[in-house]
Amino acid sequence: MLDAVISQNSVLRERLDSLVRGFRRVRGEPEPGPIDVVVTMGEINDRHGTGPLLKRIMKGRRNVFSIRARDDWGFQDFGAWNAKISQEGFARPDCFLNVLRVLSGWRVETVLCVPYLPDDLITSIVLKESFGAKLCGYVMDDQNVSASHVPDALMREFLGKCSLRLATHPELQRAYQRKFGLPFFLLPAVVPDALMATEPVEYLEASGERRGALLGSFWDQLWFDRLCAELSRCQCRIDWYGNNRSPWVKFPPDVLAKAGITAQGLVPEEVLAMELRRYPFVIVPVGMLDQEDGNKGVAALSLPGRILFAAATSRTPILIVGSEDTCGARFVKHFGIGEVVPYDASRIAAAMDRFSEPCVQETMRRNAGKLAAFSDAGVVEWLAASMEQGRTVDTRFEDAFAGYATERG
């Protein structure tokens, strides 16, 4: 009952705002003009995929206040201001107070929320109700349809308050539209335009050994364990470009060595784009969607942005290791830029050998040249205008996925 009163009664909201005006907000910061708020689960940085993508689509927007629910990575390098606001265990009225203690007196114009935790949705709802801000929900990974990290009632409330709803790829778009009966639009994990391979990338002939790159970060221990177990029987040499300091997954040095994997760590995107051109293939592991898979929500409805990055910047063929029914597998097959094999050493090795064939390289690299629509050129303005309008200002990304099958068969 009180929740409904707070969300609808502007007089009560003004009293709450007045109550917390005396609280310290963000130390040393002056009263700003209109601000754009970005709400995420953790810190925004380059150690995980959400960070670089948010930086890309918000680039150049000066008055950005970043709010996170928790600290996972140790540092934040995005936004003019940032704060941690945890809503776990608080009743809704106290959630309003938690936000207003930080932002009382500021002018919030827009809110962009990437929903992972219930905290993210609650904070975004509070911001919309307290400041009358336009709210955009940008679903990058499923936390409700295949997973159950966000309750249905809260997700429905959040989506209903959004004036714009975005998803990174068609499977996610369709799943959320089907469940909640609300329109979603596409904003994929766009690639830096300056790094796009606009000319054919010459393939360097194979040296006789199985050699490739492994790209991205592991979000599930099982994926890492399975991949290493199979690669250890493939007689290959793999350079891994990704975060090998995860707070959730362990990467024992002896296991990496046995699998033939050398961890190169995180490198700047402009360096990575050039490095990937030296390899005949890029490995991207995904889930198998079987009974052992402990993170089916991520596995079933996520499209790793590193697939788009690798294909668009280097045109290097992609080897998806995992289920054919994952989003990554469908993307690679639809655009003809790679192959999909299960966690099986013989099939992985056979695919590596096929990638050494010049005709295979030529075909897949030519197909990768058709991914120009996934450039981030103009996307900052596109997003700002779409948030203002309440729907996307054009269909550039829907058109890019024309004819795309979102389910098996």
DSSP states of 328-380 as a string?
HHHHHHHHT-EEEE-S-HHHHHHHHHHTTSHHHHHHHHHHHTT-GGGB-TTHH
In 114-220, which ranges are continuous DSSP H helix? 118-131, 152-161, 170-180
pLDDT for 378-387, tens place per residue?
Answer: 999 999 999 9
Give the pair of three-digit tokens for residue 193: 């335009």
Residue 380 located in a structural domain = no
- Do 175 and 199 share a domain, yes or no? no
More confident residue, 200 or 14: 200
At 245 the pLDDT is: 82
Pairing of strands 134-139, 107-113: parallel
**Confidence at residue 19, expressed as pLDDT on a 0 to 100 scale:** 47
Provide the 10 A C-beta neighbour count for residue 368: 24
Expressed as residue numbers, the domain containing 84 is 2-186
Mapping DSSP to helix (H, G, I), strand (E, B) and coil, where does residue 326 land? coil
Per residue in 349-367, pLDDT (tens digit) is 999 999 999 999 999 999 9
Overall size of the chain counted in residues = 409
Which of the listed ranges 43-47, 196-200, 269-273 does the model predict with the highest average pLDDT?
269-273
Confidence of residue 289 (pLDDT cuts 50, 70, 90): confident
On whether both 157 and 274 belong to a single domain, the answer is: no
Q: Can you give the pTM of this predicted structure?
A: 0.90
> Please, which pLDDT band fits residue 227 given cuts at 50, 70 and 90?
very high
> Quick one: pLDDT band at residue 29, thresholds 50, 70, 90?
low
Give the total number of structural domains in the chain. Answer: 2
Q: Which CATH number do you get for residue 235? A: 3.40.50.2000
With cut-offs at 50, 70 and 90, classify the pLDDT of residue 13: low
Which CATH number characterizes residue 169's domain?
3.40.50
Domain boundary among 128, 157, 186: 186
- Average pLDDT for 204-222: 83
CB within 8 A of 271, min separation 6: which ones?
none
Is 398 among the domain residues?
A: no
Q: Please give the Cα distance from 196 to 379 (Å, whole number).
A: 15
Least confident of 15-19, 168-172, 188-192, 262-266: 15-19
pLDDT band at 201 (very low <50, low <70, confident <90, very high): confident
Q: Beta-carbon neighbour count of residue 233 at 10 Å?
A: 14
Each residue's pLDDT tens digit, 34-77:
999 999 998 988 777 788 999 999 998 989 999 999 988 777 88
CB 83 within 8 A of CB 65: yes
The helix-helix angle for 10-20 and 92-103 (nearest 10°) equals 50
What are the DSSP calls for 278-311, one per residue?
Answer: TSS-EEEE----STT-S-HHHHHH---HHHHHHH
In the prediction, which pLDDT does 182 show?
98
